[in-house]
Amino acid sequence: MPQTLLAETLLGDGRTVSIVEPTSADAAAICDLIREAFGSRATVEPPPPALAETPQKVAAALAEGFGVLAVVDGVPVGVVIVSLDGPMAGIHRVSVRPGYQRQGIASAMVEVAIELLTARGASAVELVAREEFPQVVAWWRRHGFVEVGREGTSLTLARQLPVRLEAPSADDTRAIGRRLAGVLRAGDVIIASGDLGAGKTTLAQGLGAGLAVAGAIISPTFVLSRVHPSTVGGPALVHVDAYRLGSFAELEDLDLEVSLDDSVTFVEWGAGIAEGLAEDYLELDIRRSLDPDDETRWIFLTPIGGRWTASRPELEAL
Ligand SMILES: Nc1ncnc2c1ncn2[C@@H]1O[C@H](COP(=O)(O)OP(=O)(O)OP(=O)(O)O)[C@@H](O)[C@H]1O
Ligand SMILES: [Mg+2]
C-alpha cells in the first residue's frame, strides 16, 4: 500500500518536505527515527518510553491509529503517532531528526494530525510532555494545548478539536450563523478568523437574523465596532473588526467590556488579539476550498473554556 500524500511544506534551503501517511512497511524506519530524535535530547529520569520503541510496537500503533510522516528526498525526517480511542485522541512520539529541527516540520505534522483527527470526529486530543523541556511545553501551549494533569514531571496537555461544518454557499453560511444564534447567550464571545472574503461577515449576518437584532450587518471595517440592539429583548450583537488593530491594548480602547455581559460579541480578525476579552470563547475559523471554482467554505468551531466545551454537542448538531 503506497503512502498517502497529505501536505507539503518547504525547508529553509528550498527542499520540499512531503507530509505523508505511513504504512506498516515504514515501521522499522519510524522506530529508528523516534529513537534517534529522543536519544538526542538531554537525559531525563525516568527515561521516556520512546527510547524503548520497537518496530513491532510502531506497526501496532499504526494499525490501531495512524501516523504522520515527514519525508525529505525520500528519507523520513519526522514522525508523529496518533492514537484514536473514542472521542479522546492522543499524540505520541513527536520526533524530528536532528539537523531538521526548528524548521516547522513538527508544526506541519501536528497541523495535519489535527486536521485528520477533526475529519475523523475526535473531539479532543491529549499528549504527555516532560516538564524538564520547558521549550517543548511552551511549543505545545502555542499550539493551543493546556495542562490538564501531571504525574511527576510528566505533564498531560490537552486541547479541544474543532467541530467542522460544511457550507456550500453563502446562504448555507448564513443558515449556520442563524442556527448558531440559537446556542448563544449574553456574555458570549466569538473570535472569528479566515482570509479576506472568507465569509466572516456573511456568517455574522446569519447571527444577526437569528438573534433578531436591528440594523444591517455589514463589514464594520471603517467603524471598528458596531452595536446592533435586540428587537426582542435578547442580547445585542456587537460586531467588531480587528483587522486594523495590532494588539489587545488597542482593542481595549474600544471599551467592549462595557457591553460584553449583555451582548454577544463577534470579533472578525480577532485571533491573536481578542483572546483577552473572555476566558471562555468560541473560536471560529472559515476556510475556502482549495479548488478556486468551488465556493464551499469549511467552518471550524473550537470550544475554548467550560462554557463552550459543555456546548460542544449543540455545535456538532449545527
Ligand atoms: N459558502 C460561502 N460562504 C460564505 N460566503 C460565500 C460563500 N460562497 C460565496 N461567498 C461570498 O464570499 C463573500 C464573503 O464575504 P464576507 O464579507 O462575508 O467575508 P469576510 O470574511 O467578512 O471578509 P473580510 O475579511 O474582508 O471582512 C461574500 O461575497 C459571499 O457572498
Ligand atoms: Mg468581514
Long-range Cβ contact pairs of 134-137 (< 8 A, separation 24 or more) = none
Residue 221 CA: which ligand 1 atom is closest? 27
Spacing, Cα 204 to ligand 2 middle (Å):
9
Nearest to 118 by CA among 311, 315, 300: 300
Ligand 1 and 177: CB distance under 6 A: no
Q: What is the DSSP letter of 246?
A: -
Q: Which domains does the chain have, with CATH numbers?
A: 4-160 (3.40.630.30), 164-316 (3.40.50.300)
Spacing, Cα 313 to ligand 2 middle (Å):
27
Nearest to 211 by CA among 240, 191, 188, 243: 188
User: What pairs with residue 7 in β-bridges?
Assistant: 19
Look at residue 4 in the predicted model and tell me its pLDDT.
85
Q: At what angle do helices 27-39 and 55-64 cross, to 10 degrees?
A: 110
Closest ligand by atom to 203 CA: 1
CB 300 within 8 A of CB 285: yes
Q: Looking at ligand 1, which residue's alpha carbon is closest to its atom 31?
A: 170
Residue 173 CA: which ligand 1 atom is closest? 3
Look at residue 56 in the predicted model and tell me its pLDDT.
97
* Cβ neighbourhood burial of 128 (10 Å; 0-12, 13-18, 19+): middle
Share of the chain above pLDDT 70, in %: 98
Q: Looking at ligand 1, which residue's alpha carbon is closest to its atom 10?
A: 170
Task: List, for residues 255-284, the tens digit of each pLDDT value.
Answer: 888 899 999 999 999 888 888 899 999 999
Nearest to 241 by CA among 256, 253, 225: 225
Spacing, Cα 127 to ligand 1 middle (Å):
36
Residue 202 CA: which ligand 1 atom is closest? 18
Q: Looking at ligand 1, which residue's alpha carbon is closest to its atom 7?
A: 170
Cα torsion through 105, 194, 124, 45, rounded to 10: 30
Closest ligand by atom to 206 CA: 1
Residue 203 CA: which ligand 1 atom is closest? 18
Q: Looking at ligand 1, which residue's alpha carbon is closest to its atom 13?
A: 197
Ligand 1, from 202, 244, 245: best to mutate by most atoms within 8 Å of Cβ?
202
Q: Which letter, b or e, does each residue of 15-42 get, where b requires 16 or more Cβ atoms within 10 Å of its Cβ?
A: eebbbbbbbeebbebbbbbbbebbeebe
Q: CA-CA distance, 138 to 313, in Å (whole number)?
A: 30
Q: CA-CA distance, 308 to 310, in Å (whole number)?
A: 5
User: Please, what is the end-to-end C-alpha distance for the chain in angstroms?
Assistant: 37
Nearest to 9 by CA among 107, 101, 79, 80: 107
Q: What is the DSSP letter of 199?
A: S
Task: List, for residues 105-147, the tens digit of each pLDDT value.
Answer: 999 999 999 989 988 889 999 999 999 999 999 999 988 899 9
Ligand 1 and 199: CB distance under 6 A: yes
Ligand 1 and 21: CB distance under 6 A: no
Share of the chain above pLDDT 90, in %: 83
Q: And the C-alpha cell for 138?
A: 511552551
Q: What is the pTM of this model?
A: 0.82
Nearest to 86 by CA among 52, 120, 59: 120
Q: Looking at ligand 1, which residue's alpha carbon is closest to its atom 24?
A: 196
Q: CA-CA distance, 303 to 123, in Å (whole number)?
A: 10
Contacts of 29 (CB under 8 A, 6+ apart): 76
Ligand 1 and 295: CB distance under 6 A: yes
Look at residue 269 in the predicted model and tell me its pLDDT.
92
Ligand 1 and 198: CB distance under 6 A: yes
Spacing, Cα 201 to ligand 2 middle (Å):
4
Q: Is 254 helix (H, G, I), strand (E, B) or coil?
A: coil
Q: What is the mean pLDDT of residues 152-156?
A: 96
Task: List, for residues 212-228, the tens digit of each pLDDT value.
Answer: 999 999 986 667 899 99
CB 210 within 8 A of CB 181: yes
User: What pairs with residue 284 in β-bridges?
Assistant: 192, 301
